[in-house]
Amino acid sequence: MFSKLLPATFCLLLLTQAAHAFAPTTQKVTDNVYAIVGDTGERTPENQGMNNTSGFIITNDGVVLVDSSATEASAKMLEDAVKTVTDKPIKQVINIGVQDHHWMGNSYFLAQKIPVSALAKTVESQKNQEPMNRMRLSSGIGGKPEDLKVEFPSETFDGDEKTLSIGGTEMSLRYLGDAHFPGDAVLWLPKEKVVFTGDTVFNDRMLGVLPDISNVKDWQATFKKVAELQPEHIIPGHGNPNDWATAQKNTGDYLDWLVTNVGKSLEEMEDLGDAVKRLSADETFSFLKMAKELHGRNVHQTYLQLEAE
């Protein structure tokens, strides 16, 4: 009997060790706002899908956690990160993103009777994208898609904006337009001049234009709407928190580059293959992590989108 149990026990031990081999970094943004920065690479068994950035707000009544990560294991990592800063309990979770690593850890917090909120528009997109999110996540961390425990927010808000006052802290949950995914939202803290942008902003690593999901021109327009808030502190969907100038350099300028340069290629009736080969060789944004893997794909997808207009 022992010999039959040993392999399973050993595998469980390896998985447990792998889950603890990675830990996100916690960075103070303002006196009561923190970013939790995950990997900037791919999803792996070690990071349990936490290859993104989330964060939290410390209020008089407790902690508001922004996004819940990808799995119950990575949601626990977020909880542990909060505990390194404050003894106050997590009282509320707000989903602002549609991709797996922003919300598929909801079940961990819902099991503790912690409410999870989101705009109805965001939840609708989460439901539409769930099968694909399951496939992508399970492929990265291992296991079967059907084994992932997925729960949607317990509270939804109609419309494009919901003002919340939690523990004396005012915040505004807003849909400003589609970004990396349809239905992506932002959380704006007007007093602190902090915006949790979700996947509208990628810092440190290159954004990805996903086939049939990301619309480059819509994303470009949404980014400009975030700029109108005039935020001083940016907590992005990926990478380290920073200022708006950094967000503009890492995301806004790149979206503008794609639209402008691929647009010119189409105006000059350049063949798709030639355009991708030529523009992929441009190293303007090679300072961003994963540029080698993503830049050519982004050019290709942008060409197809602009050509279809």
CATH number at residue 153: 3.60.15.10
The answer to whether residue 39 is domain-embedded is yes
Between 7-11, 49-53, 203-207, the lowest mean confidence (pLDDT) is in 7-11
Confidence category of residue 9, pLDDT binned at 50, 70, 90: very low
pLDDT above 80 (res 18): no
User: Model confidence over 134-185: pLDDT tens digits?
Assistant: 999 999 999 999 999 999 999 999 999 999 999 999 999 999 999 999 999 9
CA nearest neighbour of 56 among 109, 133, 111: 109
Q: Supply the Cα-derived Rg of the chain in whole angstroms.
A: 20
Domain carrying residue 42: 23-242
Residue 138, domain member (yes or no): yes
pLDDT for the residue 75: 98
Neighbours of 93 (CB within 10 A): 30
Asked whether residue 291 is domain-assigned, the answer is no
pLDDT of residue 4: 40
Residue 134: inside a domain, yes or no?
yes
Crossing angle of helices 272-280/253-267, nearest 10°? Answer: 140
Q: In the chain, how many domains are there? A: 1
**Token pair 């009544």 is at which residue?**
61
pLDDT digits (tens, 9 = 90+) for 246-281: 999 999 999 999 999 999 999 999 999 999 999 999
Specify if 202 maps to a domain.
yes
| Residues 43-54, mean pLDDT to the nearest whole number | 96
Mean pLDDT of all residues in 28-53? 96
Instruction: For residue 232, tell me if it sits in a domain.
Output: yes
DSSP string for residues in the chain:
-HHHHHHHHHHHHHHHHHHTS---EEEEEETTEEEEE--SS---TTTTT--SEEEEEEETTEEEEE---SSHHHHHHHHHHHHTT-SSPEEEEE----SHHHHTTHHHHHTTT--EEEEHHHHHHHHHHHHHHHHHHHHHH-S-GGGS-----SEEE-SSEEEEEETTEEEEEE--S--SSTT--EEEETTTTEEEEEEEEE-SB-----TTT--HHHHHHHHHHHHTT--SEEEEEES--B-HHHHIIIIIHHHHHHHHHHHHHHHTT--HHHHHHHHHT--TTTTSBTHHHHHHHHHHHHHHHHHH-
pLDDT digit string, tens, across residues 80-114: 999 999 999 999 999 999 999 999 999 999 999 99
Residue 295 within any structural domain of the chain = no
Give the predicted TM-score (pTM) of the model.
0.92
Tell me if 72 is assigned to some domain: yes
